[in-house]
C-alpha cells in the first residue's frame, strides 16, 4: 500500500506524452480538429461580461464570435476543459497527489505570488488571443499537424521563456 | 471498406466526446506532472524537462498517427481543420506567451490541471487569463490590422518546403531523438 501524504509522484513524461499524443490523435480522427484550452477562458469571459453589462459586451467586436451564437456555453472546447478538470482531478485524487495549497517558489511571499499568478495569467490571456490559441490549440495541435503556426509558436515560446528565465533567475529556481 | 474519418457527429455527441477526450487530456497532463508549476517552469531553468519530453512525445505520436492514417486512406486530411498560420502575430504571441508561462508557472490547460490537484494559485492564474482575454477584446479594434496580418492559412511545413510529410517527420524524429538524448544525459550528469 502506498502512503498518502507524500511527495507528488508522477509517471514518466514520455508515457504521459504518448497518452497525450494518442488523445490528440483520437480527437483529430473523431471530430476533425485538435485539442484546445485558451478559447474557453475567452468565451467564459465574454459570456460573463454579457451578464454584467450586455451593452458593453456587445460593443466589443472580438467577443461577438462567442455571443452571436445560439447557445454560447454549448462550446466544444469548454466541454473539453470540463473533462480536463475532471480527468486531472481523478489523476490527483487516485494517486494521493491532491492537496489544497497555494503553490509558490519557496522564497516568494504570498503577495508576490498572487501578483505573478494573476499578472502572468493576464499576459497568457492576451497573448493566446493574439496567437489564436495556446500550448494546446496552436503548439500541440498545430505542431502535430506540422502546421507552421505550431512550430512558430513553440519556438518563440521556448526562446522567450529561456531569455526570461536568464533575466529573472530567482523567479522559480 | 474504407473508413471515412473524421466523422460528422451531432452537437450533443460532439459535446459528450469533448468531455471524454478532455478526461484523458487532463489525466495525462496531471500524471505527467504538468499541473505542477515547479515542473512546468523547470525547463527554462534546466532543472526539469517534463514539459519538452511530454510535449514532443505527444507531437511525435499524434503526427505519426495522423499522417499514417492519411496515407492509408483511413482519414481524409482535407476534412481536418488545420491550425491557421498568421506568422507575425503568432511569433509575437508565442514570445509573449513564454513570458506569461514563466511568470505564472502555468499555461491555460495546465492551470486547470493545477487547480485539479488543489493548487489555488492556479485558480488565480485562470482568473488572470480571463482578464487578459478581456484586455485583448478591449484593445482589439486598435490591433485588428496586426492580428490579421501575414496570413498563411493552412500552411504546413511539408507544403511550404514542397517535400513529402515523411521528409519533415524524419527531421522531427531526429530533432526529438537528439533533444531527448541531450536531456537524459544532462540529467544524469548533474
ipTM for the complex? Answer: 0.97
Q: How confident is the model at residue A2 (pLDDT cuts 50, 70, 90)?
A: very low
Number of alpha helices (DSSP H) and beta strands (DSSP E) in chain B? 8, 0
- Residues shown for chain B: 190
Task: Check A21 against B59: CB less than 8 A apart.
Answer: yes
Q: How many CB atoms lie within 10 A of CB A143?
A: 28
Interchain pair B102, A77: CB under 8 A: no
User: Would you state the cell numbers that stand for residue B116, as one nine-digit string?
Assistant: 485539479
* pTM as predicted: 0.96
Write the DSSP string, B15-84: HHHHHHHHHHHHHHHHHTTTT-HHHHHHGGGTS--HHHHHHHHHHHHHHHHHHHHHHTTSB-GGGS-PPP
A123, A162, A168: best to mutate for the B interface, most B CBs within 10 A: A123
What contacts A157, CB < 8 A, 6 or more positions away? Answer: A135, A139, B94, B95, B97, B98, B101
The 10s digit of each residue's pLDDT in A11-63 is: 999 999 999 999 999 999 999 999 999 999 999 999 999 999 999 999 999 99
Q: Provide the pLDDT for residue B1.
A: 43
Give B4-29 pLDDT, tens digit per residue.
789 878 899 999 999 999 999 999 99
CB spacing of A148 vs B81 below 8 angstroms:
no
Instruction: Write the residue in B58, B91, B121 that is nearest to A20 by C-beta.
Output: B58
pLDDT at A87 over 50: yes
Look at the block and give the residue holding cell 511550404. B160
Q: Report residue A172 as a C-alpha cell.
A: 522559480
Q: Is A66 at the interface with chain B, CB within 8 A? A: no
In the A/B pair of chains, how many CB contacts fall below 8 A? 535
Q: Is residue A107 helix, strand or coil?
A: coil
How many helices (H) and strands (E) are present in chain A, helices listed first? 8, 0
Mean pLDDT value of segment A129-139: 98
| CB atoms closer than 10 angstroms to residue A111 | 7
| Residues B69-111: tens digit of each pLDDT | 999 999 999 999 999 999 999 999 999 999 999 999 999 999 9
Nearest C-alpha neighbor of A172 from the set B51, B131, B185: B51
Q: Is residue B53 pLDDT above 90, yes or no? A: yes
Tell if the CB–CB gap between B136 and A130 is shorter than 8 Å: yes
> Of A18, A88, A135, which has the smallest distance from its Cβ to B27's Cβ?
A88
Considering only the beta carbons, identify the residue of A35, A46, A100 that sits closest to B120. A100
CA of B140: which chain A residue's CA is closest? A62
A69 CB near a chain B CB, below 8 Å?
no
pLDDT in the model for residue A173: 77
Amino acid at each position: 500500500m502506498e502512503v498518502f501524504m507524500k511527495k507528488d509522484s508522477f509517471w514518466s513524461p514520455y508515457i504521459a506524452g504518448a497518452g497525450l499524443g494518442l488523445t490528440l490523435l483520437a480527437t483529430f480522427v473523431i471530430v476533425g480538429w485538435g485539442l484546445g484550452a485558451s478559447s474557453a477562458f475567452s468565451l467564459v469571459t465574454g459570456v460573463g461580461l454579457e451578464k454584467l453589462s450586455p451593452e458593453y459586451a456587445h460593443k466589443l467586436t472580438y467577443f461577438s464570435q462567442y455571443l452571436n451564437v445560439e447557445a454560447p456555453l454549448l462550446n466544444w472546447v469548454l466541454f473539453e476543459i470540463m473533462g480536463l478538470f475532471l480527468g486531472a482531478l481523478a489523476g490527483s485524487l487516485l494517486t494521493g497527489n491532491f492537496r489544497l495549497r497555494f503553490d509558490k517558489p519557496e522564497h516568494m511571499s504570498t503577495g508576490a505570488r498572487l501578483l505573478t499568478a494573476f499578472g502572468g495569467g493576464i499576459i497568457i490571456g492576451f497573448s493566446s488571443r493574439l496567437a489564436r490559441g495556446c500550448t494546446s490549440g496552436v503548439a500541440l495541435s498545430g505542431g502535430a499537424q506540422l502546421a507552421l503556426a505550431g512550430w512558430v509558436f513553440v519556438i518563440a515560446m521556448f526562446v522567450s521563456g529561456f531569455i526570461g528565465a536568464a533575466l529573472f533567475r530567482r523567479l522559480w529556481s | 471498406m474504407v473508413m471515412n474519418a473524421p466523422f460528422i457527429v451531432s452537437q450533443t455527441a460532439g459535446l459528450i466526446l469533448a468531455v471524454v477526450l478532455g478526461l484523458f487530456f487532463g489525466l495525462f497532463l496531471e500524471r505527467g506532472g504538468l499541473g505542477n508549476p515547479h515542473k512546468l517552469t523547470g525547463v527554462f531553468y534546466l532543472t526539469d524537462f517534463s514539459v519538452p519530453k511530454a510535449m514532443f512525445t505527444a507531437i511525435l505520436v499524434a503526427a505519426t498517427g495522423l499522417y499514417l492514417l492519411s496515407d492509408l486512406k483511413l482519414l481524409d486530411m482535407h476534412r481536418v481543420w488545420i491550425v491557421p498560420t498568421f506568422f507575425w502575430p503568432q511569433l509575437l504571441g508565442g514570445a509573449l506567451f513564454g513570458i506569461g508561462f514563466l511568470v505564472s508557472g502555468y499555461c491555460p490547460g495546465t492551470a486547470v490541471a493545477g487547480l485539479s490537484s488543489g493548487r489555488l494559485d492556479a485558480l488565480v492564474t485562470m482568473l488572470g487569463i480571463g482578464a487578459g482575454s478581456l484586455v485583448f477584446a478591449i484593445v482589439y479594434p486598435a490591433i485588428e490590422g496586426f492580428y490579421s496580418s501575414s496570413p498563411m492559412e493552412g500552411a504546413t511545413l511539408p507544403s511550404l518546403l514542397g517535400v513529402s510529410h515523411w521528409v519533415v517527420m524524419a527531421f522531427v524524429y531526429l530533432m526529438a531523438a537528439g533533444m531527448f538524448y541531450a536531456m537524459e544525459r544532462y540529467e544524469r550528469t548533474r
